[in-house]
């Protein structure tokens, strides 16, 4: 499973990219607003830092507006992925953009049938929001499993499942087990994947024992 980071914070992105584990970045209007910077500047800097796909979301809700906004976003860099909402106009824009050779991330997916529509429209990625489904008492990971089954039934559907609204380490594990192609993860959760109390305890024990030997490797 590929790891994308869900942030517009360039310092966080650079830190995670240096680990060699980062496959892409997703942003949205909320994250851009938090950055306090112009969207084009933010996306350009991210694209220069990360080789993989960088999702830049349109703000328009109508087809013509989406297409107008997609053009300058796509012109920023070759690794820009245009992000559109899962609405009738969004799916229409997805189809047009995909036919023009652009990568498209269809976001705010909450049902398997919505995911099927996006795949038929040529979406590069579909973004089911697992955490938001959990918030209303549903099983977000069940949606990942349903989409995986549907996509696997049809060889011509090439859309990648991008598990979004990830809230915990458990979500990351469950998404991988359910067959998601990608998980887009907040920086704090991505860093937290390294942590386990037994790792810390074992390392402390090893270091204490090594100190007793009085040796130096260098």
What is residue 37's predicted lDDT score, i.e. its pLDDT?
A: 96
* pLDDT score for 84: 98
Residue 11's pLDDT is 96
Report pLDDT for 126: 98
Catalytic residue status for 83: yes
Long-range contacts of 82-88 (CB under 8 A, 24+ apart): 82/55, 82/56, 82/57, 82/58, 83/26, 83/27, 83/28, 83/55, 83/56, 83/57, 83/58, 83/107, 84/57, 84/58, 85/61, 86/114, 86/117, 86/118, 87/61
Which is catalytic among the residues 34, 40, 44, 83?
83
- Per the prediction, the chain carries an average pLDDT of 97
Tens of pLDDT, residue by residue over 102-129, are: 999 999 999 999 999 999 999 999 999 9
pLDDT single digits (tens) 143-197? 999 999 999 999 999 999 999 999 999 999 999 999 999 999 999 999 999 999 9
* 3-state SS, one letter per residue, for the chain: CEEEEECCCHHHHHHHHCCCCCCEEECCHHHHHHHCCCHHHHHHHHHHHCCCCEEEECCCCCHHHHHHHHHHHHCCCCCEEEEEECCHHHHHHHHHHHHCCCEEEEEEECCHHHHHHHHHCCCCEEEEEHHHHHHCCCCHHHHHHHHHHHHHHCCCCCCEEEEECCCCHHHHHHHHHHCCCEEEECHHHHHHCCCCHHHHHHHHHHHHHHHHHCCCCC
Domains and CATH numbers, the chain: 2-213 (3.20.20.70)
For 21-41, write each residue's pLDDT tens digit: 999 999 999 999 999 999 999
């Amino acid at each position: 499973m590929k790891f994308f980071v869900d942030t517009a914070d360039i310092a966080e992105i650079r830190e995670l990219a240096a680990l060699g584990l980062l496959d892409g970045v997703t942003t949205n209007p909320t994250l851009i607003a938090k950055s306090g910077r112009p969207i084009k500047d933010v996306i350009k800097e991210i694209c220069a830092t990360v080789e993989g796909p960088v999702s830049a979301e349109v703000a328009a809700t109508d087809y013509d507006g989406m297409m107008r906004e997609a053009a300058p976003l796509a012109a920023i860099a070759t690794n820009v992925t245009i992000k559109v909402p899962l609405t009738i106009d969004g799916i229409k824009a997805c189809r047009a953009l995909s036919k023009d050779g652009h990568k498209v991330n269809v976001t705010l997916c909450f049902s398997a049938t919505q995911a099927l529509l996006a795949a038929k429209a040529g979406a590069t990625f579909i973004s089911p929001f697992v955490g938001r489904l959990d918030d209303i008492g549903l099983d977000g990971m069940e949606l990942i499993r349903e989409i995986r089954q549907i996509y696997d039934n049809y060889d011509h559907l090439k859309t990648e499942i991008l598990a979004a609204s990830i809230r915990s380490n458990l979500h990351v594990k469950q998404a991988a087990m359910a067959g998601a192609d990608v998980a887009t993860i907040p920086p704090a959760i991505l860093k937290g994947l390294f942590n386990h109390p037994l790792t810390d305890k074992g390392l402390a024990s090893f270091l204490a024992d090594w100190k007793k030997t009085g040796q130096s490797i260098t």
